[in-house]
Amino acid sequence: MGKTLVEKIIARASGQASVRPGEIVTCKVDLAMIVDSGGPRKIWPRLTELGVGLWDPNKIVVVSDHFVPAVDAETAAILKLARDFVREFKIPHFYDMKGICHIVLPEHGHLQPGMFVCGGDSHSTMGGAYGCYMAGFGGIEMTGVCITGEIWTRVPETIRVDWSGKFNQAVVAKDVMLFLCRQLGMDNAFKAMEYGGDTVSSMSMSERGVLCNMAAELGCETGVIAPDQTTLAAIRAAGKEPAADALKWCSDDDANYVARHKFSASDLQPQVAAPHAPSNSGPVTDYKNVKIDQAYIGACVGAKLSDLRMAAEVLKGRKVASHVRLLVAPATQKVYADAAADGTLNILTDAGAIMLASGCGACAALGAGVLGDDEVCISSTNRNFKGRMGSNQASVYLGSPYTVAAAATAGHIADPREFLS
């Protein structure tokens, strides 16, 4: 029986010829990523208590993205601690206020196919778009990783999802994931989600990232996509050369999947998830005319350059509804600069969008853009749990940037296809 991509990566990282789903193995970590929210402020005290240092500062990446920019003395102290941590342990890879970690990491060429990567955030699964195994871990686990360079893991079973054909107008990867959250549910613990098919092969890296990012919403350990020429081109665009064996990291034709699903891209409509779960989703036409107070285009999954361009397609020549605030927080400073250079930001701001700093922001109820009691928001983010973006009494709907922009100009949830030529 052949092996899945995930089994091959874990076998290599654990120094074994092969592994089987359900086995518990110890893996050597190729890269560890920690962020300001759950990184230095939780890890440093434990290092001090144990009297130890970091296993390899060159293999640790630190990103400040949750509490940036500081809005009060408490968040300023958290950021200062992160900066002091980097100086104390001489960590060369520190991205301070450069953007959201899951986008910053590949932007700077840190990911390669076949790597075993640990991230201190649940959406670290996004790295699987580059053909590596990347999963999210809590502060205690990341402390162990930073000290030893190792972590134990249970080899997950793999679910294979294939998409074929072309999307219709205004349908993108976000719609795929809201559909899959409904179809496959959000309780796929100890599973990895592998995406394939000609639809996925034709996607950009930023869209593939959405699929792997929201494997977390499916409850999976990670999401993965086998590398191809698009992957290699993205690595080169980040200033790095792909590993010589990059394209070998793929599942065997006779790999054993715990389940296989096939879907037609041409059958999919724009999707919306209603409060309070990504799985509470359906076609946008089921939610038309829900009045909104705020539209938010932000977060790792919803504010990449391609996402801002989607919103601009809808908003060009239009205005945001008078009773709606449209907030846009580009995922990274590079995205901000590129969107300014190509005119995308002009279109958004001419329509009435309010630009915010790059960072996690209101997605995690931090900084500007949080919601008050009884407010209704439609967001391009990945989660809409109760209280996720502020008040427990607020309601958050999820949609693609196309759908969020359409709602912003209509004043209520609307079908984005009606706003595209």
Q: Tell whether 382 and 300 lie within a shared domain.
A: yes
Q: Tell whether 251 and 275 lie within a shared domain.
A: no
| pLDDT tens for the chain, residues 1 to 421 | 899 999 999 999 999 999 999 999 999 999 999 999 989 999 999 999 999 999 999 999 999 999 999 999 999 999 999 999 999 999 999 999 999 999 999 999 999 999 999 999 999 999 999 999 999 999 999 999 999 999 999 999 999 999 999 999 999 999 999 999 999 999 999 999 999 999 999 999 999 999 999 999 999 999 999 999 999 999 999 999 999 999 999 999 999 999 999 999 999 999 999 999 999 999 999 999 899 999 999 999 999 999 999 999 999 999 999 999 999 999 999 999 999 999 999 999 999 999 999 999 899 888 889 999 999 999 999 999 999 999 999 999 999 999 999 999 999 999 999 999 7
Per DSSP (E only), the strands in 54-140 are 60-64, 93-96, 116-119, 133-136
pLDDT value of position 63: 98
Q: Where does a domain end: 263, 284, 303?
A: 263
Q: Tell whether 297 and 329 lie within a shared domain.
A: yes
Q: Where does a domain end: 263, 297, 326?
A: 263
- Which domain, by its residues, includes 255? 5-263
pLDDT value of position 1: 83
Q: Tell whether 101 and 227 lie within a shared domain.
A: yes
Q: Give me the count of residues in the chain.
A: 421
pTM attached to this predicted model: 0.96
CA distances from residue 346 to 45, 336, 343, 353 in whole angstroms, order as listed: 45, 12, 5, 10
Q: Tell whether 24 and 133 lie within a shared domain.
A: yes
Q: Tell whether 235 and 158 lie within a shared domain.
A: yes
Q: Tell whether 242 and 323 lie within a shared domain.
A: no
Q: Rounded CA gap, 316 and 294, in Å?
A: 19
Q: Tell whether 18 and 158 lie within a shared domain.
A: yes
Q: Tell whether 229 and 347 lie within a shared domain.
A: no
DSSP letters, 232-299, are: HHHHHHTT-PPPTTGGG-S--TTB--SEEEEEEGGGPPPEEEPTT-TTSEEEGGGSTT-B-SEEEE-S
Q: Tell whether 171 and 26 lie within a shared domain.
A: yes
CATH number at residue 398: 3.30.499.10
